[in-house]
Amino acid sequence: MGGLFLDPEGERRQLPAVNAAALIQFAISAIAVAAMVGLAALATRGRGAPPLDEATARRWLADEFPGRALDGLWLAADGKGCVARSDDRALILTRMGHGYAARQIAWAQVSAASLQDGRLRIPLGDVTAPRAILAMTAWPPKELAA
Amino acid sequence: MKTFDPVTLATPFFIITVILEIVLARFGKLKADYETADTAVSLTMGLISSLAGVITAGASFAAAVWIYQHRLFTIPMTAVWAWALVFFAEDLTYYWFHRLSHERRIWWAAHVNHHSSQHYNLSTALRQTWTGGVAGTWALWLPLSFLGFPPAMVAIEKGVSLVYQYWIHTEAIRRLPRPIEAVFNTPSHHRVHHARNPRYLDRNYAGILIVWDRMFGTFQPELDEEAPRYGLVHNLGTFNIVRVAFHEWIGIAQDIARSPRHILGWLFGAPGWSPDGSRDTSAKLKAEWAARQTAPPRAERDAA
């Protein structure tokens, strides 16, 4: 690095070799990344987060939305998230790795969402969580549809 | 003078230790929580950040050299005292760089991806920014060259700091002996830094020496009664790596487009700042958390 400015001519001569070395290093690093991800997949196979149950969902919601009372809670059929109602707000958890992403939107948006192929698709309007997709057996829930 | 890059030299060590952490955790020999998609994002972010860094490295190094040509003193790169001095000077600079990266949104946009994993393991250390060069925080190190530290010396010390900070991204090491915890940044201190619990937000900005946090009032020890929950205040709902890398920049652009007259606030306000105060900043979340600690339990409030 120091030679870059103390010996410009020498540095120019070295550039092709430096570039080749950098490319080789990048290629080896890419292979190593693929290997490490593969190893992580193998090592964690069958060790995913357990399906979300009501107690766990309530605990997560209490952490994410402290002080909010829940008027209703609906778990996804595959245990990968839930929708809760709190006054006029919908509190949503969706599985992310071994954790969850939580968002709140107007309840009206969630109640208006439709079920397609057993999946409730809720647009969240957030660049960091564009939509929540939850497996539901029925929507809106019977108790609210009545 | 021949120089070297500590990060390049340490890359095989990074690979070997990630593999060891995954394997030993698999057999229950240490605590580490890996998840495939999360690991893939972290490691790919790291890989591509090495390319992204090259694009701006030339400009930032040229700026350092230009400044160095107008230096106040000439500090020899061969003197032991000079290395001792640059160690402290660089580490103090890193503290303020890191603090700024958390407390001002434009720089948080470049740093947020490092905090976007809900996991905390050695792969998280490699979840590095793609936009740090563009954010311009490298300018914070220019005063060191103006003082007279050769730019190569500063670059090496920055690399040493980055390599040091790698191994502290782990749950496998609980606490180190007290004298070490008192002086150095450790896995315990850095777990607090990566936590999203309100009590832990915006704490422990240290690079190598935790003493800066103690001096400037940002130190928070890890508490046995409150395990860190990792990630962002509003965790990402996607593993899309482009969204991971650029989401805060996109958010800034959307906010400016929506309300251009607040551009300074959108850029230089705290992350979560909004004109009407409706969004969550760290300060707001901490205040709400503190209020909940002193408020009577809900049952008592309802009875009253």
Asked if B287 reaches chain A (Cβ–Cβ under 8 Å), the answer is no
pTM of the model: 0.91
Residue A38 and residue A71 in one domain: no
Residue A1 lies in a domain: no
Does residue A102 sit in the same domain as residue A127? yes
Looking at the fold, whether A18 and A75 belong to one and the same domain comes out as: no
For B261-284, the pLDDT digits (tens) are 999 999 999 999 999 999 999 999
Planar angle of CA B138, B90, B65, nearest 5 degrees: 50
The reported pLDDT for the residue numbered A18 is: 65
What residues in chain A have their Cβ under 8 A from chain B's Cβ atoms? 1-6, 22, 25-26, 29-30, 32-33, 36-37, 39-41, 43-44, 48, 63, 66-67, 94, 96-103, 124, 126-130, 132
- Distance to chain B for A141, nearest Cα, Å: 24
* pLDDT greater than 70 at residue B1: no
A87 and A18 part of one domain: no
- Kindly state whether residues A67 and A126 are assigned to the same domain: yes
Is A138 inside a domain boundary?
A: yes
Distance from CA of A3 to the nearest CA of B (A): 7
- If asked whether residues A93 and A131 sit together in one domain, one would say yes
Statement: residue B103 has pLDDT above 60: yes
pLDDT computed for residue A48 by the predictor: 81
Query: Rounded to whole angstroms, how far apart are CA atoms A35 and A33?
Result: 5
Q: Does B57 touch chain A (CB under 8 A)?
A: no
What's the pLDDT at A4?
Answer: 38
Residues 6+ apart with CB under 8 A from A15: none
Share of chain A above pLDDT 90, in %: 65
Buried b (16+ CB within 10 A) or exposed e, B90-124: bbbbbbebbbbbbbbbbbbbbbbbbbbbbbbbbbb
Distance CA A57, CA A75 (A): 8
Question: Does residue A21 sit in the same domain as residue A72?
Answer: no
Contact A64, A102 (CB under 8 A): yes
* pLDDT value, residue B303: 58
Helix (H) or strand (E) holding A131: strand A131-135
pLDDT at A47: 82
Structure confidence at residue A9 (pLDDT): 54
Task: Let me know if residue A117 belongs to a domain.
Answer: yes
Question: Is the link from the previous residue into A140 a cis peptide, with omega within 30 of 0?
Answer: yes
Instruction: Name the domain count of chain A.
Output: 2
Q: Round to the nearest angstrom and report the end-to-end CA distance of chain A.
A: 73
In a domain, A93, yes or no: yes
Boundaries of domain holding A95: 54-145
Same domain, A70 and A127: yes
In a domain, A2, yes or no: no
pLDDT tens figures, B154-186:
999 999 999 999 999 999 999 999 999 999 999
CB-CB under 8 Å, B51 with A26: yes
Q: Does residue A27 fall inside a structural domain?
A: yes
CB B139, CB B100: distance < 8 Å: no
Q: Are residues A32 and A60 part of one domain?
A: no
Locate the chain A residue with the closest alpha carbon to B156: A1
Say if residue A141 is in the same domain as residue A93.
Answer: yes
Residue A48 lies in a domain: no
Between helix B151-166 and helix B80-103 the angle, nearest 10°, is 60
On whether any CB of chain A is under 8 Å from the CB of B39, the answer is yes
- In chain B, whose CA is at the least distance from the CA of A130? B237
Q: Give the three-class secondary structure for A132.
A: strand
Are residue A61 and residue A114 in the same domain, yes or no? yes
* A34 and A63 share one domain: no
In a 13 Å sphere around the CA of B129, the CA atoms on its Cβ side amount to: 24
